[in-house]
């Protein structure tokens, strides 16, 4: 039988030989040497002098060490590819190389002038803190503690800029671009205004359209109240939703209208962009949540579940969103990738027993955390300390009167991190939620106080009777905003104060008041951004807070306050020395 030609040639003859500058006859010589010494394994070692081979018995039997590998695949062989170097790289070496590359990028992004910081301080304060912060944010849980840096009194003359003469009717929503350059505001007059944040200059006005305008003019803007606004994380797109059931997408750079979505069947009450990707989530009074791809200007999906109008929505990095269902008193966490939803039951009640429990402050960890905040506030901000004392006096009076407030509507939500969020409603209570429990883990009752009672007008039939007062009502929580993955968030109502809250450290859930910002009127919207003064990516940043102020509530006209329809932008610098004073 004839031998197979492939087997006759041998498998080794088909392998790719490494080029090391050997003459053409060196391979044949190696075969002859192999026939003379069949019991010894054949070795190929490159040599800088040509095709010489080491025939020593000890070197033939040795497998080789790391130095042999470096000699074989080192810089002496000019034609060795980078793919072979990566193939020889161990997992530990690869992690080290990627870590060094990432640190160099972070160092370049956080580099500052040599006159301001030395190299050691940059390495310690900027690079190390930034790496830790990025790692913790990827875990989805809040970790950065920054609220103590903003415990000082807010100076209205130097820290606030009023953006006025932009809207004729109450301002309903506001949004700051992530780069901090522009502020967008919407109003009940249907207009969208673009402002320069630093100068307060009005750059562009997208006027509201008439309701009877024929197509395509009605697609160039809103023809009714604008109720919600959102800016994409790359500062390229602005989305607005209104009572005309439409969502409009605008270009930030070109200041022009891109497209109008008509899929909602009722007022669009909330909008939010997912961080890091231009996916837009919208909620509406038609009880639906819709998903949009703004890069493609296309509709994606619809989510169902709420039994009443959806008033507010929020989202962060993960493919999920949290919504509030108003009078169905539920909150829903939509896990979009899993096509599932988690239902949380609201409807908290503020009665005598719960107020008494709040005055006691609960466990030892909570008592220590509250005492720590009171010490910081009393030392740095006497006006906020006075508000705290007034609040405790109010709780004592409510407990003595056996007053009860029941939450009938959940209207505002803000996500602290991917697993923690805070809500507010008509009972005036701020509720802290965790995905691990169906009920709030902490409730701050009557967070913005109660409305002053008004005496009723007496009639002829009851002239002899004493004037009676209207029932005591708590102030409605109208807006919430959080600095994601930190211990700080803001709440607002119509009591003339925007309140800054600090999350408690440790295992005891809860939060405490650490600062107050005077704002008169109905606060219909809040937008907060972390910005660095010099534009770098340092961990320690200032806070920019935009407040939409109106004479009426965002969704109705059941009350009116004496205020101007304006946008107020507060620049709150971080002051690490506040605790040391």
Residue 140: inside a domain? no
Give the CATH number, domain containing residue 387.
2.130.10.10
Q: Which of these, 570, 350, 362, 564, lies nearest to 475 by C-alpha position? A: 350
- Residues of 284-319 as b/e, b for ≥16 C-beta within 10 angstroms? bbbbbbbbbebeeeeeeeebebbebbbbbbbbbbbe
What's the number of domains the chain is made of? 1
Residue 281: inside a domain? yes
Query: What element of type H or E holds 373?
Result: helix 364-380
- Other CB atoms closer than 10 Å to residue 329's CB: what's the count? 20
523 backbone dihedrals φ, ψ, rounded to 5°: -90, 105
Average pLDDT of adjacent 10-residue blocks, the chain of 581 residues = 43 42 44 46 42 44 43 43 60 81 70 51 59 62 85 90 94 95 96 95 92 63 94 95 95 94 95 95 97 95 95 95 94 94 91 85 81 90 92 89 88 95 95 94 94 58 49 89 95 96 88 95 96 64 95 92 94 70 41
Contact between 249 and 259 (Cβ < 8 Å): yes
State how far the alpha carbon of 123 is from the alpha carbons of 130, 149, 166, 292, in Å: 10, 22, 45, 41
Question: Has this prediction a pTM greater than 0.85?
Answer: no
State how far the alpha carbon of 445 is from the alpha carbons of 371, 474, 490, 526, in Å: 18, 10, 16, 21
Q: Strand order of the sheet with strand 171-176?
A: 171-176, 182-187, 192-196, 202-206
572 backbone dihedrals φ, ψ, rounded to 5°: -105, 105
pLDDT at 358: 85
Domain hosting 287: range is 156-454+471-578
Triad 258, 262, 265: Cα angle to 5°? 150
What sections of 141-183 are H helices per DSSP? none
Residue 114: inside a domain? no
Q: Strand order of the sheet with strand 430-434?
A: 410-415, 420-425, 430-434, 442-444
Contact between 249 and 221 (Cβ < 8 Å): no
What is the dihedral sign for C-alpha 461, 462, 467, 470? negative
Q: Which two tokens stand for residue 237?
A: 């797109």
Residue 403, Cβ density class (10 Å: 0-12 exposed, 13-18 middle, ≥19 buried): middle
End-to-end CA distance of the chain: 99
Q: Which of these, 42, 36, 37, lies nearest to 59 by C-alpha position? A: 42
Q: Is the peptide bond before 216 cis (omega within 30 degrees of 0)?
A: yes
Instruction: Give the pairing type, strands 279-284 and 268-273.
Output: antiparallel
Residue 129: inside a domain? no
Residue 347, Cβ density class (10 Å: 0-12 exposed, 13-18 middle, ≥19 buried): middle
Residue 299: inside a domain? yes
Contact between 290 and 301 (Cβ < 8 Å): yes
Look up residue 4 and give its DSSP letter.
P
Q: Which of these, 200, 197, 157, lies nearest to 181 by C-alpha position? A: 197
**Residue 296: HSE in the Cβ half-sphere, 13 Å Cα cutoff:** 8
Computed on alpha carbons and rounded to an integer, the radius of gyration of the chain in Å comes to 33
Residue 78: inside a domain? no
The span from the CA of 430 to the CA of 449, in Å, is 12
Instruction: Give the pairing type, strands 182-187 and 171-176.
Output: antiparallel
What is the dihedral sign for C-alpha 256, 261, 264, 270? negative
pLDDT at 113: 46
- Residue partners of 246: CB distance under 8 A and separation at least 6: 219, 222, 260, 261, 262, 264, 268
- Residue partners of 548: CB distance under 8 A and separation at least 6: 171, 172, 173, 174, 185, 479, 523, 524, 525, 526, 567
Residue 498: inside a domain? yes
Q: Name the 3-class secondary structure at 87.
A: helix
pLDDT at 193: 97
Query: What element of type H or E holds 388?
Result: helix 382-401
pLDDT at 206: 94
Residue indicated by tokens 């009074």: 285
Residue 459: inside a domain? no
Contact between 271 and 228 (Cβ < 8 Å): yes
Residue indicated by tokens 């790289």: 89
The span from the CA of 345 to the CA of 212, in Å, is 42
Contact between 538 and 113 (Cβ < 8 Å): no
């Amino acid at each position: 039988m004839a031998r197979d030609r492939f087997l006759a040639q041998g498998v080794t003859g088909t392998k790719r030989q490494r080029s090391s500058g050997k003459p053409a006859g060196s391979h044949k010589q190696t075969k002859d040497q192999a026939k003379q010494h069949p019991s010894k394994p054949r070795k190929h070692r490159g040599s800088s002098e040509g095709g010489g081979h080491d025939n020593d018995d000890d070197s033939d039997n040795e497998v080789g060490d790391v130095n042999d590998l470096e000699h074989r695949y080192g810089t002496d062989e000019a034609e060795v590819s980078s793919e072979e170097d990566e193939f020889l790289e161990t997992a530990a070496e690869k992690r080290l190389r990627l870590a060094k590359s990432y640190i160099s990028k972070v160092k370049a992004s956080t580099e500052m002038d040599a006159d301001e910081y030395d190299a050691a301080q940059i390495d310690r304060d900027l690079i190390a803190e930034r790496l830790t912060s990025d790692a913790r944010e990827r875990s989805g849980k809040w970790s950065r503690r920054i609220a103590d840096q903003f415990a000082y009194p807010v100076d209205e003359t130097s820290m606030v800029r009023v953006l006025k003469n932009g809207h004729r009717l109450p301002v309903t929503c506001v949004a700051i671009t992530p780069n901090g350059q522009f502020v967008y505001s919407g109003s009940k007059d249907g207009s969208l205004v673009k402002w320069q944040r630093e100068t307060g200059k009005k750059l562009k006005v997208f006027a509201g359209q008439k309701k009877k305008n024929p197509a395509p003019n009605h697609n160039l803007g809103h023809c009714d109240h604008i109720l919600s606004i959102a800016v994409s994380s790359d500062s390229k797109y602005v989305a607005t939703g209104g009572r005309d059931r439409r969502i409009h997408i605008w270009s930030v750079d070109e200041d022009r209208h891109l497209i109008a979505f008509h899929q909602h069947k009722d007022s669009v009450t909330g909008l939010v962009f997912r961080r890091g990707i231009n996916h837009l989530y919208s909620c509406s009074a038609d009880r639906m949540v819709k998903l949009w791809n703004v890069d493609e200007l296309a509709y994606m999906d619809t989510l169902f579940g709420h039994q009443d109008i959806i008033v507010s929505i929020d989202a962060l990095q993960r493919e999920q969103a949290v919504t509030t269902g108003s009078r169905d008193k539920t909150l829903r966490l939509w896990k979009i990738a899993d096509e599932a939803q988690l239902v949380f039951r609201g409807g908290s009640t503020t009665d005598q027993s719960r107020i008494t429990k709040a005055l006691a402050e609960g466990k030892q960890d909570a008592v220590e955390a509250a005492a720590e905040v009171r010490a910081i506030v009393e030392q740095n901000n006497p006006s906020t300390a006075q508000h705290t004392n007034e609040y405790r006096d109010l709780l004592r009076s409510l407990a003595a009167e056996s007053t009860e407030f029941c939450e009938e509507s959940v209207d505002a939500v803000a996500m602290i991190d991917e697993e923690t969020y805070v809500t507010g409603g008509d009972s005036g209570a701020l509720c802290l939620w965790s995905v691990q429990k169906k009920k709030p883990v902490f409730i701050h009752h009557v967070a913005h106080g109660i409305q002053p009672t008004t005496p009723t007008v007496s009639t002829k039939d009851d002239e002899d009777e004493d004037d009676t007062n209207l029932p005591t009502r708590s102030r409605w929580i109208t807006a919430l905003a959080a600095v994601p993955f930190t211990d700080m968030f803001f709440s607002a109502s119509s009591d003339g104060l925007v309140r800054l809250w600090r999350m408690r450290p440790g295992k005891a859930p809860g939060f405490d008041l650490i600062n107050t910002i005077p704002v008169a009127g109905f606060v219909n919207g809040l937008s907060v951004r972390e910005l660095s003064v010099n534009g770098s990516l340092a961990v320690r940043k200032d806070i920019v807070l935009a407040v939409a102020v109106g004479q009426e509530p965002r969704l109705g006209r059941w009350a009116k306050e004496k205020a101007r329809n304006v946008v107020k932008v507060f620049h709150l610098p971080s002051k690490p020395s506040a605790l040391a004073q």
